[in-house]
Chain A
Amino acid sequence: MSVPSSMRQPMALRLSSAGFLAFWCVIAAFPIFWIAVMSVKDPVDAFAANPFEVIFGPETVASGRGLSIVSIVVGIAVLWAAIHLALNTLPRLIKQYSPPHLLVVGWIIGVLVFALGFLIVFFGLLPPVLSAVNTVLGPFGKPILGMTTEHYRAVWVDNAFYENFINSLIITAGVVTVSLTVGTLAGYGLARSGSNLAFWILIIALVFRALPHSVLVAGYLPPFINSAEILRPILGDAAPTLYGQPWAVIAVLVSINQPFTIWMLRSFFQNIPTELDEAARVDGCTHFQAFRWVIMPVMWPGVITTGLFSFLLAYNDYLVCSLLLDAQNQTMVPAIAGYFNRETTTTDQVEAVAAAVSITAPLFLLVMIFQRQIVSGLTAGAVKG
Chain B
Amino acid sequence: MKYKTFAAFVGPSIFLMLLFIAAPLISVFFQSFYITQPVFETVEVETCTPGFPTQTCVTEQKTQPIIGEDGKVVTTVKYVGLESYRNVLEPDRAWAALSAFDFRALLTIDFWKALRFTLTFTLVTLPLVIGAGLLIAVVVNNASRLIRGPIIFVSLLPFIITPVIGALSIRWLFIGDGIMTAFLEWAFSQNISMFAQGWTIELLMMFYRVWHVAPFAFVVFYAGLQTVNQDTLESAIIDGASRWERLRYVIIPHLMPLIVFISLIHLMDSYRVFEEIVGFSSQAHRISLQWLTYDFLTPDDSGNRSISRASASAMLTMIGIVVLLVPLLRKTWRDHKGGRV
Contacts and interface: CB of A to CB of B under 8 A. Distances in A.
A28 B19 contact: no
A289 to B, nearest CB: 12
A29 B154 contact: yes
B141 to A, nearest CB: 10
Interface stretch (B46-54, B95-103, B305-313): B305-313
A199 interface: yes
A349 B300 CA distance: 26
Interface stretch (A106-114, A129-137, A139-147, A182-190): A182-190
B228 interface: no
A383 B274 contact: no
Nearest to A190: B10
A361 to B, nearest CB: 11
B10 A218 contact: no
B142 A17 contact: yes
B249 interface: no
A368 B163 contact: no
B10 A13 contact: no
A25 interface: yes
A220 interface: yes
A375 interface: yes
A130 B220 CA distance: 47
B293 interface: yes
Interface stretch (B60-68, B119-127, B171-179, B193-201): B171-179
Nearest to B29: A219
Contact of A216 (B12, B25, B296, B341): B25
Chain A CB within 10 A, most for which of B20, B135, B274, B311: B20
B5 interface: yes
Interface in A358-377: 359-360, 363-364, 366-368, 371, 374-375
A252 interface: yes
Interface in B13-53: 13-14, 16-17, 19-28, 31, 36
A102 interface: no
Contact of A360 (B165, B172, B215): B165
A136 B297 CA distance: 61
Given A27-B211, A32-B157, A316 B297 contact: no
A207 B317 contact: no
Interface residues on B, range: 35 or more
Contacts of B24: 215-216, 218-220
A30 to B, nearest CB: 8
Given A186-B13, A337-B278, A20 B317 contact: no
B146 interface: no
Nearest to A383: B223
Contact of A383 (B220, B243, B336): B220
Contact of B314 (A27, A190, A214): A214
A34 B173 contact: yes
B10 A186 contact: yes
A18 interface: yes
B25 A195 contact: no
A18 B5 contact: no
Chain B CB within 10 A, most for which of A24, A216, A254, A366: A24
Contacts of B147: 21
A31 B169 contact: yes
A353 interface: yes
A333 B162 contact: yes
A161 to B, nearest CB: 14
B223 A28 contact: no
A29 B293 contact: no
Nearest to A199: B336
A210 B325 contact: yes
B12 A7 contact: no
A21 B6 contact: no
A185 B12 CA distance: 8
A65 to B, nearest CB: 21
A182 B12 contact: yes
Interface stretch (A49-57, A66-74, A75-83, A299-307): A49-57
Contact of A212 (B152, B261, B293): B293
Given A17-B143, A182-B12, A337-B278, A214 B169 contact: no
Contacts of B16: 182, 251, 254-255, 258
Interface in A305-324: 312, 315-316, 318-319, 323
9 contacts: A21-B147, A27-B211, A189-B8, A203-B329, A217-B297, A340-B281, A363-B162, A375-B219, A383-B220
Interface of A: 6-7, 9, 13, 17-18, 20-21, 24-25, 27-29, 31-32, 34-35, 38, 47-51, 54, 182-183, 185-186, 188-190, 192-193, 195, 197-199, 201, 203-223, 251-252, 254-256, 258-259, 262, 287-288, 291, 312, 315-316, 318-319, 323, 333, 336-337, 340-341, 349, 352-353, 356, 359-360, 363-364, 366-368, 371, 374-375, 378-379, 381-383, 385
Given A31-B158, A214-B291, A316-B164, 10 more contacts: A28-B155, A201-B10, A215-B314, A215-B315, A216-B25, A217-B297, A316-B162, A360-B165, A378-B219, A382-B224
Interface of B: 1, 5-6, 8-10, 12-14, 16-17, 19-28, 31, 36, 135-136, 139-140, 142-143, 147, 149, 151-158, 160-166, 168-170, 172-173, 176-179, 182, 211, 215-216, 219-220, 223-224, 227, 237, 243, 258, 261-262, 268, 271-272, 274-275, 278, 281, 289-291, 293-294, 296-298, 305, 307, 310-311, 314-315, 317-318, 321, 324-325, 328-329, 332, 336, 341
Closest 7 CB pairs of A and B: A219-B24, A189-B9, A255-B20, A186-B13, A49-B182, A214-B293, A379-B223
